[in-house]
Structure 1
Amino acid sequence: MKTTPYLYTGSGSAIDDYNKPKSELQNIVQGGRSAKNNWGAFDKKNKLHLTILSQLRTLQWTTKSQKWGEVADINRLSDFLKSDKSPVNKPLTDMTQQELSKIISCFDSIITKHFK
C-alpha cells in the first residue's frame, strides 16, 4: 500500500493528527460504549466473525468512517445480538463455532428475504 506524505498545517500536534484514525476506529468499535457492552466486537482473525461482517455489509448495515469509507455497523449488530430476534444472545467473542454458525444461518435467511 503506497502512502503519500502531506504537510500538516492544522493546530495542535502532528502526532495527534497522525493517530486520529486509530482513535476513530476505536470509537467505531466501541461505539462510544464500553467494549464489554458492545456485543458486536469481533476478532479479525476469526473467519466466522469476518463472514458475519461481510453479511452486515451485504444487508447494508454499515456506518461511515473517514478513513475506511463504509464499515460494518457493529453497534447495530450488538443491538441485534441482545434482542429477542437473535438465535444466540451472547457477545460475538464469547460464542462457540456452533453458535456463530447459527448467527450466520440467521443472517443468510435475512439476506434471502431482504433481496427476494
Structure 2
Amino acid sequence: MTATKAYIYEGTGSATDDYFKPKATNTNSPPLEECPKGRVVLNWAIFDKTNKQHLTLLSQLRTLQWTIPSEKWGEVADLPRLSAFLKSPESPVKKPLKEMQPVEVSKTIECFKSMIRKKYK
C-alpha cells in the first residue's frame, strides 16, 4: 500500500471510499503495455542482481557506453535506454528482462556482443 498524504475530509459519502478512490492520472504519460501474464510493465529493464546473465548484460551496457550520471554512484547503466531497446524492433526478444528464459537472455547478450564488436571495430 502506498502512503497517501493525510487531509481533512469535507465531502459526502464514506471518508474511506474517498481516501482509497483512484486518483486522476497524467494524460501525457506513455501508453501502458501488457505483458503476457496480464500485469502492466513499463520498465522492461528491471534485472535480478543475483542472475549472472543479467549482470553480464549490465556490463555490456557500460562497455557500449550506455550510461547515465548518478549522484550516488557516479555513472550507472542506462536502464531506460535498455528498456526502450527491449521494446524496439531491433531487439531479438520482445519481453521484459525478468520474464525472459535463460536462452532468450543469451540471445540478447549475443546481440549486445555484436553491437560492441561493431562499435570498436
Fold conserved (TM > 0.5)?
A: yes
The aligned counterpart of 1:85 is 90
Q: Distance in 1 between matches of 2:74 and 2:51?
A: 22
Partner of 2:101: 96
Q: Deviations over 1:57-89 (max 9, x none)?
A: 000000111010000000000000000000000
Query: Which amino acid in 1 is paired with 2:115?
Result: I
Say yes or no: does 1:44 pair with 2:49.
yes
Aligned counterparts of 1:87 and 1:110: Cα–Cα separation in 2: 13
Q: Which of 61, 71, 78 is the equivalent residue of 1:73?
A: 78
Q: Deviations over 1:4-26 (max 9, x none)?
A: xxxxxxxxxxxxxxxxxxxxxxx
Counterpart-to-counterpart distance in 2, 1:64 and 1:93: 24
**Aligned match of 1:54 in 30, 52, 59?**
59
Matching residue of 2:111: 106
Gaps of 5+ in 1: 1-32
Q: Runs of 4 or more off by more than 4 Å in structure 1?
A: none
Give the length in aligned residue pairs.
84
Deviation readout 1:73-111 (Å, 9 max, x if unpaired): 000000000000000000000000000000000000000
Q: Identity of aligned pairs, percent?
A: 62
State the SS of the aligned residue for 1:60.
coil
Which structure: larger Rg? 2
